Amino acid sequence: MNHLTENKTLIDLLQWRYATKKMSGKSVTQDKIDLIIEATRLAPSSSGLQPFKIMVINKPELKQQIFPIANNQQQIIGSSHILVFAAWHQYTQERVYAMIDHINTERGLPISNGDGFKKGIGGLFTLSQEQQKAHITQQVYLAFGIAIAAAAELGVDASPMEGFNREALDDLLGLEALQLKSVLIMPLGYRDEEADWLVKLKKVRTPRRDFVITNPGTL
């Protein structure tokens, strides 16, 4: 929380935030970055597997290199940090079982307690590469949404982005060696009130009457 967001409801914060197009270059403090990451780490995921990692970029040279990879979008340059959401390249037994073992260890339960879970989750490995990719990516997007809200709570501007060359970013960050693939990036920083063309424009969404259908099929 800060003076901008104190005593604000989630709805107020979602009204306040916007996909910032130009940031001012002002730094975000490490404690705020840590809180945004912690909220992201606490996001739910299918079977609790959390099949992704967060890369934190704050080196100016690296941001400069990401700029052209992200189609020269200005929010890259003025950002304080960039979070890269990088997904497991696929579900491997090694990764999945390690997470199940971790859950049991953290709960003080014997590793064998996870045997049923491991058996039950076996279907994941029979999915095609494309199906696995889709399933893993869905988990990333969900956590991404939580990160957007967490940033808003702290009065930090976030620019959700999928407009970048994933292969080029993977190469730059050496993600293949980590068996990860970039999915989304999120520059964090502070809006440039003077120079951002979007800052004063109305937030527009589908009207509620067109957005919600109550008890469909029962009229």
Residues within the interface to ligand FMN (CB under 6 A): 18-19, 21, 73, 160-163, 184, 203
Between residues 113 and 137, which has the closer beta carbon with respect to ligand FMN? 137
Residue 95, amino acid: R
Between residues 51 and 160, which has the closer beta carbon with respect to ligand FMN? 160
Measured CA distances, 33 to 52, 83, 112, 206 (Å)? 18, 9, 37, 31
Angle formed by the axes of helices 166-173 and 60-69, nearest 10°: 160
Between residues 119 and 200, which has the closer beta carbon with respect to ligand FMN? 200
Contact between 108 and 202 under an 8 Å Cβ cutoff? The reply is no
Between residues 121 and 183, which has the closer beta carbon with respect to ligand FMN? 183
Between residues 121 and 188, which has the closer beta carbon with respect to ligand FMN? 188
Least distance between ligand FMN and beta carbon 43 (Å): 15
For residue 145, which phi and psi values (nearest 5 degrees)?
-60, -40
- In angstroms, the CA 74 to CA 144 distance is 20
- In angstroms, the CA 2 to CA 190 distance is 13
Least distance between ligand FMN and beta carbon 21 (Å): 6
Least distance between ligand FMN and beta carbon 89 (Å): 20
Least distance between ligand FMN and beta carbon 168 (Å): 14
Least distance between ligand FMN and beta carbon 4 (Å): 16
Q: Where would I find the beta strands (DSSP E) of 44-172?
A: 52-57, 81-88, 157-158
Between residues 161 and 180, which has the closer beta carbon with respect to ligand FMN? 161
- In angstroms, the CA 16 to CA 12 distance is 6
CB neighbours of 8 closer than 8 A, spacing ≥ 6? 16
- In angstroms, the CA 159 to CA 186 distance is 5
